[in-house]
């Protein structure tokens, strides 16, 4: 087996030799060799394992099953026309051509070698847990069905579209799938776009804004709260990031009250008009739970699973962005892979408990890098929480900021802007 390393920042596990982490983009100084434990469990059966969804959770589940069962039929069903791919790259390379499996986690021959059947362009439309079957809508519009002995529900999440007047217009896009980036490239070309408005000052909105600015567009970011990345950064770091964005020519408007999106602008309630031939909306994700709910599987905003990734329905497991483990959502790449591995292992008859993993924010944008893990020292309402003690340093000239938040003597949060050299140490020492 190839030697594997783990990214200490985002938790992704991948083959040794990569120049950057394929998920969060940090360099090899943040990689640590890991022993990928062989489970030792083996049970060859002629069971049918059906995995719904074609993301990292699905791929990891399929791999975990095949490691334990050499005979079973393993099928991944995805409505995308792609092999499971590196989704985080989409906002980092928004206008790139991602065709030809350029972002695929594994090439097609990996699936062939492992006898994992990829059913692309097929949408699951209903699950019958009594009959153990899944109804499908195929790429050509026809309908079909498949039966399973064990089902893994790994449908991921979709972008929430804020209910703003005009959000249904064709030049208003969200970014979740490769097909979204294809459409964005078409819009840019067809509309000879020069102006882009990014609604939402979270990670994906800012990554998208930075990428589009680097491509030469006039970019405006609209954020409804008073600060960029308000949930991850403290006010000092947010302000610094905003200044850096502005210095790169990105217009940032916080406390934005959006009135309407028109064919060529986004209008604010104070009368400001932000020109836009393309609008990128990054206003949050929602888990795909509808199919589970309709099948009578327990859902509490996310598909509910225990630490073995078991849902409330017998023989049905769930993993990735769509699920919450003991009530806690798992919305990062490394968590999708880890929950997928656990779901696959247990579906195959093994007994593996999920050990929760945290995941850090790492963002490269506006010529700087940002890291945040744990608390940002704020309470729910966004004000600074006196419970936390802050130790911070700032070097305006170098564009560096470092903050450590303590709860009594326990390090519970860290934020870095610019110089990320303390990242591995922070990742190891922050306690949750």
Ligand X SMILES: Cc1cc2nc3c(=O)[nH]c(=O)nc-3n(C[C@H](O)[C@H](O)[C@H](O)COP(=O)(O)OP(=O)(O)OC[C@H]3O[C@@H](n4cnc5c(N)ncnc54)[C@H](O)[C@@H]3O)c2cc1C
Given 26, 51, 57, 423, the residue binding ligand X (CB under 6 A): 57
56 binds ligand X (CB under 6 A): yes
Return the range that interacts with ligand X (CB under 6 A); candidates 78-86, 226-234, 257-265, 389-397.
78-86
The answer to whether residue 8 forms part of the interface with ligand X (CB under 6 A) is: no
Examine residue 80 and tell whether it contacts ligand X (CB under 6 A).
yes
For the CB of residue 99, give the shortest distance to ligand X in the complex, in Å: 16
What's the closest the beta carbon of residue 304 comes to ligand X, in angstroms?
15
User: Which residues are CB-neighbours of 280 under 8 A, at least 6 positions away?
Assistant: 173, 174, 175, 184, 196, 197, 198, 199, 205, 208, 209, 212
Q: Which two tokens stand for residue 60?
A: 């990891």
Counting Cα atoms < 13 Å in the Cβ hemisphere of 303 gives 34
Among 7, 21, 47, 53, binds ligand X (CB under 6 A): 53
State yes or no: residue 22 binds ligand X (CB under 6 A).
Answer: no
Side by side, which strands form the sheet with 410-417?
361-365, 368-374, 410-417, 400-407, 388-395
- Going edge to edge, which strands form the sheet with 273-275? 258-261, 265-268, 273-275
Regarding 51 and contact with ligand X (CB under 6 A), the answer is no
Q: Give the Cβ contact number of residue 314 at 10 Å.
A: 11
| Complex with ligand X: residue 202 or 230, whichever CB lies closer | 202
Query: Pick from 8, 278, 305, 331: which binds ligand X (CB under 6 A)?
Result: 331
Q: Which residue has the tokens 């469990």?
A: 41
Q: Which of 23, 50, 118, 403 binds ligand X (CB under 6 A)?
A: 23
Residue 37 CB burial class (10 angstroms; 0-12, 13-18, ≥19): exposed
| Spatial CB neighbours of 189, under 8 Å, sequence gap ≥ 6 | none
Among residues 22, 88, 202, 414, which is the contact residue for ligand X, using CB under 6 A? 88
When computed from its CA atoms, the radius of gyration of the chain, rounded to whole angstroms, is 22
Q: Which of 81/260 has CB closer to ligand X?
A: 81
Contact residues toward ligand X (CB under 6 A) are 10, 23-24, 52-58, 77-80, 87-88, 90-91, 123-124, 154-157, 175-176, 204, 288, 320-321, 331-334, 336, 359
């Amino acid at each position: 087996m190839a030697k594997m390393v783990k990214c200490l920042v985002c938790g992704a596990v991948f083959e040794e030799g990569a120049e950057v982490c394929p998920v969060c983009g940090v360099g090899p100084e943040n990689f640590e060799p890991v022993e990928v434990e062989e489970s030792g469990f083996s049970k060859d059966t002629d069971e049918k394992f059906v995995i719904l969804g074609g993301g990292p959770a699905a791929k990891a589940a399929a791999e975990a099953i095949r490691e334990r069962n050499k005979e079973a039929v393993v099928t991944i069903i995805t409505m995308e026309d792609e092999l499971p791919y590196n989704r985080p790259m989409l906002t980092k390379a928004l206008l790139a051509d991602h065709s030809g499996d350029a972002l695929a986690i594994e090439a097609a021959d990996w699936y062939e070698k492992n006898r994992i059947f990829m059913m692309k362009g097929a949408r699951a439309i209903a699950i019958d847990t009594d009959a153990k079957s899944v109804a499908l809508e195929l790429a050509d519009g026809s309908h079909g069905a498949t039966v399973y002995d064990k089902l893994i529900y790994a449908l991921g999440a979709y972008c929430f579209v804020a209910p703003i007047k005009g959000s249904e217009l064709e030049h208003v896009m969200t970014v979740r799938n490769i097909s979204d980036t294809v459409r964005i490239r078409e819009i840019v070309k067809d509309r000879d776009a020069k102006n882009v408005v990014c609604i939402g000052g979270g990670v994906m909105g800012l990554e998208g804004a930075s990428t589009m600015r680097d491509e030469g567009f006039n970019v405006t970011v609209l954020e409804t709260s008073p600060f960029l990345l308000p949930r991850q950064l403290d006010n000092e770091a947010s302000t610094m990031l905003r200044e850096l964005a502005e210095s790169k020519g990105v217009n940032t408007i916080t406390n934005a009250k959006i009135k309407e999106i028109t064919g060529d602008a986004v209008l604010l309630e104070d009368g400001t008009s932000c020109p836009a031939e393309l609008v990128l909306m990054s206003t949050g994700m929602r888990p795909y739970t509808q199919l589970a709910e309709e099948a009578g599987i327990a859902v509490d905003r996310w598909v509910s699973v225990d630490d073995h990734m078991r849902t409330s329905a017998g023989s049905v497991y769930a993993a990735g962005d769509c699920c919450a483990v003991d009530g806690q959502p798992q919305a990062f790449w490394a968590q999708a892979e880890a929950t997928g591995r656990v779901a696959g292992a247990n579906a195959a008859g093994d007994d593996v408990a999920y050990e929760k993993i945290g995941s850090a924010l790492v963002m490269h944008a506006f010529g700087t890098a940002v890291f945040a893990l744990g608390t940002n020292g704020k309470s729910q309402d966004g004000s600074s929480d006196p419970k936390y003690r802050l130790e911070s340093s700032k070097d305006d000239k170098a564009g560096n900021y470092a903050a450590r938040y303590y709860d009594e003597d326990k390090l519970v949060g860290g934020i870095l802007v610019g110089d990320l050299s303390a990242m591995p140490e922070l990742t190891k020492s922050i306690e949750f």
